[in-house]
Structure 1
Amino acid sequence: MDMQTTVAEASRHFAPRPGYLAACTLGLPTHETIAAQQADLRAWQLGDVSPVAYGEVVEEARAAFARIARVDVGRVAIGSQTSSQVAVVAASVPDGAEVLCVTGDFSSVVFPFLAQAHRGVRVRHVPADELAAAVSADTWLVAWSRVQSATGAVSDDDAILSAARAHGALTFCDLTQAAGVLPVDASRYDLTVTHSYKWLCSPRGAAFLTVAPEVHDRLVPVQAGWYAGDDVWESCYGPDMNLAADARAFDVSPAWPAWVGALPALRLFSSLDPADTWRHATGLGDALCARLDREPQGQAVVTWADPDGADLRVLGRAGLTVSGRAGRVRVAFHLWNTADDVDRVVAALRP
Structure 2
Amino acid sequence: MDSGPRPQQAGAMTSLGGAEFAPLTKTYLNTASTGLLPLRTAQALKAAADDAAHGRVGPEYNFTALAAARAGFARIAGVPVDRVAAGNSVATHAGLIARALPSGAEVLIADDDFSSLVNPFAVRTDLKLRSAPLETLAEAVGPQTALVAVSAVQSADGRVADLAALRAAADQHGDTGGGTRIVVDATQAMGWLRLDPRHYDYLLCGSYKWLMCPHGVSLLVVPEDLGPDELVAFNSGWVAGEEPWNSCYGPIAELAHSARRFDERPAFVSYIAAQHSFALIEELGPERIGAYDLALADRCRAGARELGLLPVDARSPIVALPGQGAAAERLKAAGVEASVRAGNLRAAFHLYNTEADVDRLLEVLAEA
TM-score interval for Structure 1 and Structure 2 normalised by the shorter chain: over 0.9
User: In structure 2, what is the equivalent of residue 224 of structure 1?
Assistant: 236
Contact 2:166–2:199 (Cα < 8 Å) also in 1: no
Q: Which runs of 5+ in 1 are unaligned?
A: none
The equivalences for 1:91-106 within 5 A come to 91-106=99-114
Pick the aligned partner of 2:168 from 159, 162, 167: 162
Matched position secondary structure for 2:172: helix
| Letter matched to residue 235 of structure 2 | Q
Q: Which amino acid aligns with 2:249?
A: Y
Alignment of 1:322 with 2:338, yes or no, is yes
More deviation, 250-259/4-13: 4-13
RMSD of the alignment, in Å?
A: 1.8
Alpha-carbon spacing, 1:239–1:276, altered in 2? closer, same or farther (3 Å): closer
CA distance in 2: counterparts of 1:324 and 1:276, whole angstroms:
28
Which stretch shifts more, 312-321 or 193-202?
A: 312-321
Q: 1:76 to 1:198 in 2, by over 3 A?
A: same
Q: Does 1:206 align with 2:217?
A: yes
The equivalences for 1:1-351 within 5 A come to: 10-15=17-22, 16-117=24-125, 120-168=126-174, 169-217=180-228, 218-293=230-305, 294=310, 297-306=314-323, 309-351=325-367
CA shift at 1:66, angstroms? 0.4
CA distance in 2, matches of 1:5, 1:222: 43
Question: 1:6 Cα deviation (Å)?
Answer: 6.5
Q: How far did 1:72 drift?
A: 0.5
Of stretches 225-234 and 288-297 in structure 1, the one that deviates more from structure 2 is 288-297
Aligned mates of 1:121, 1:97 — CA distance in 2:
5
Give 1:52 shift.
1.1
Contact kept in structure 2, 1:5 and 1:272, CA below 8 Å:
no
Give the conservation status (yes or no) of the 8 Å contact 2:83–2:224.
yes
Q: TM-score, length-normalised on structure 2?
A: 0.90
Aligned residues: 347
Alpha-carbon distance in 1 for matches of 2:348, 2:120? 27
Q: Distance in 1 between matches of 2:205 and 2:221?
A: 9
Matches of 2:360 and 2:181, distance apart in 1: 44
Q: Which amino acid aligns with 2:187?
A: T
Question: Matched residues in 1 for 2:63 and 2:151: separation?
Answer: 30
- TM-score of the aligned structures, taking structure 1 as reference length: 0.94
Misfit runs of 4+, over 4 Å: 2-9
What are the ranges of 5 or more consecutive residues in structure 2 without an aligned counterpart?
7-14, 175-179
Q: Which amino acid aligns with 1:321?
A: E
